């Protein structure tokens, strides 16, 4: 395994080429546009600021009254290493996440392709919105993400509502 000094040297060499900074800035600028579109199109959501991350993930969260009352939230996440956009159901803390994970993982239905990566402690349930985002066509990309998030929120909300009736 390389030493920290060797890793930092390689990192510095990549940064000196200038492409990483341009790509990272482009991703964050797109997230800003996406967030602004969500605020404009969905004023009924509480929308957080953007978490830039440590080049692992960048995201912002959305909340509805139903989710907030349960200590839950939706995160629209760009995973830098995978290069994809996902939507996650997350919780305010690990205890809330555990209680809803067992409920939702066994009772969720809908036409949304949901999964849970056991190595992701930040999400209860996840859904890939677009595995290969086209940043050159940002209007279409925003539309794809918006439609996927809306389906995800509807599926989660319906499952939570059904659970409340049981």
* Domain boundaries, given as residue ranges, for the chain: 4-165
For residue 106, what pLDDT is reported?
Answer: 62
Query: Per residue in 35-87, pLDDT tens?
Result: 999 999 999 999 999 999 999 999 999 999 989 999 999 999 999 999 999 99
HSE-up (13 A, CA, CB side) for residue 96: 14
Question: Average pLDDT of 108-129?
Answer: 86
Q: Residues 128, 86: contact at Cβ < 8 Å?
A: yes
Q: Which two tokens stand for residue 63?
A: 């909340």
Question: Average pLDDT of 143-165?
Answer: 85
Q: Quick one: angle between helices 138-165 and 19-41, nearest 10? A: 50
**Which pLDDT band, with edges at 50, 70 and 90, does 14 fall under?**
very high
The model's pTM is 0.91
Rounded Cα distance between 94 and 110, Å, is 25
For residue 158, what pLDDT is reported?
Answer: 85
């Amino acid at each position: 395994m390389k030493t920290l000094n060797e890793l930092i040297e390689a990192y510095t060499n990549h940064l000196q080429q200038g492409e990483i900074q341009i790509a990272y800035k482009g991703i964050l600028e797109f997230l800003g546009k996406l967030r602004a579109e969500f605020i404009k199109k969905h004023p009924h959501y509480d929308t957080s600021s953007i978490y830039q991350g440590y080049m692992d993930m960048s995201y912002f969260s959305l909340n509805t009254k139903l989710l907030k009352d349960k200590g839950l939230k939706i995160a629209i996440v760009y995973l830098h290493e995978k290069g994809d956009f996902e939507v996650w159901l997350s919780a305010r803390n690990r205890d809330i996440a555990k209680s809803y994970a067992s409920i939702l993982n066994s009772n969720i239905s809908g036409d949304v392709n949901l999964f849970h990566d056991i190595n992701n402690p930040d999400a209860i349930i996840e859904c890939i919105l677009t595995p290969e985002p086209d940043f050159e066509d940002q209007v279409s990309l925003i539309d794809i993400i918006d439609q996927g998030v809306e389906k995800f929120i509807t599926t989660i909300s319906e499952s939570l509502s059904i659970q409340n009736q049981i």
